[in-house]
Amino acid sequence: MNIIELDDVWKVYKMGEIEVPALKGMSLKVAPGEFLALMGPSGSGKSTAMNMIGCLDIPTRGSVFLAGQDIATLTELELSRIRGKKIGFVFQSHNLYPTLTALENVQLPMRVHEFIEADIWDKSEELLQLVGLSDRADHYPSQMSGGQSQRVAIARALSTNPLLLLADEPTGNLDTEAGKEILDIFSQLNAQGVTVVMITHDEKIAGRANKIVRMIDGTLAS
């Protein structure tokens, strides 16, 4: 079963009188174990597609299936809970909760989903170690570099054992060196079986994925 399936998805933004179609009948399947890069020029609809893949927004037309379930059949609360648990998000910037430490940030999704306290601590420490930031556990986001923040964000995205790690321009704000570290972590996770969908407009970065999908003007380029 596919983790995510978009079937002829349209997204039309209404700006007063004007309608802006950002997605025009996009179809996409993400199978377990994939490391998929979604590419395309600016304004082609990548972020809009990511909102669909991440179930953060509902399509104007067409269907989105999360682990085989049509999300249109779910209530807002159900969708929110399932999304939070099955999809781990890494955004381009401002990923972390500024009033919480690195460790607390990693724990946050587990607290939202009411994990057992002992598991919360074990898992969060284990994940910080995985991204190489055990020594920064008590640091606040303002006390960390952009690359470190992104690594904490990855650790947090993994904390609920999601089916999918979804990243929108995760290296967009980083220099080449820090960006490479992030991509190494993605590759390593994918090797361990984590499904990754990464959005980027950089060919070199997309090259790290084992499948590349290109978007032009709201649909996939064939």
Ligand X SMILES: Nc1ncnc2c1ncn2[C@@H]1O[C@H](COP(=O)(O)OP(=O)(O)OP(=O)(O)O)[C@@H](O)[C@H]1O
Question: Residues interacting with Mg ion, by CB under 5 A?
Answer: 47
Judged by beta carbon, residue 42 or residue 222, the one nearer other proteins is: 42
The residues that touch other proteins, with contacts defined as CB under 8 A, are 47, 51, 54, 56-57, 76-77, 80-85, 89, 91-95, 97-100, 104, 108-109, 111-114, 160
Judged by beta carbon, residue 41 or residue 207, the one nearer ligand X is: 41
> Sheet holding 195-199: strands in order across?
87-90, 164-168, 195-199, 35-39, 211-216, 219-220
42 binds, among Mg ion, ligand X, other proteins, none (CB under 5 to 8 A by kind): ligand X
114 binds, among other proteins, ligand X, Mg ion, none (CB under 5 to 8 A by kind): other proteins
- Taking each continuous run of H as one helix and of E as one strand, the counts in the chain are 7, 10
CA 131 and chain centroid, separation: 16
Using CB under 6 A as the binding rule, the residues of this chain from 23 to 52 that contact ligand X are: 40, 42-48
DSSP 72: G
Judged by beta carbon, residue 86 or residue 201, the one nearer Mg ion is: 201
CA dihedral 139, 143, 148, 150 (to 10 degrees): 100
The helix (run of H) or strand (run of E) holding residue 137 is: none
Q: What's the chain's length in residues?
A: 222
Give the residue from 76, 72, 75 showing the smallest Cα distance to 63: 72
184 binds, among Mg ion, other proteins, ligand X, none (CB under 5 to 8 A by kind): none
183 in Cβ contact with 174 (< 8 Å): no
Nearest distance in Å: CB 144, Mg ion: 24
Using CB under 6 A as the binding rule, the residues of this chain from 159 to 218 that contact ligand X are: 201
Residues interacting with ligand X, by CB under 6 A? 13, 15, 20, 22, 40, 42-48, 201
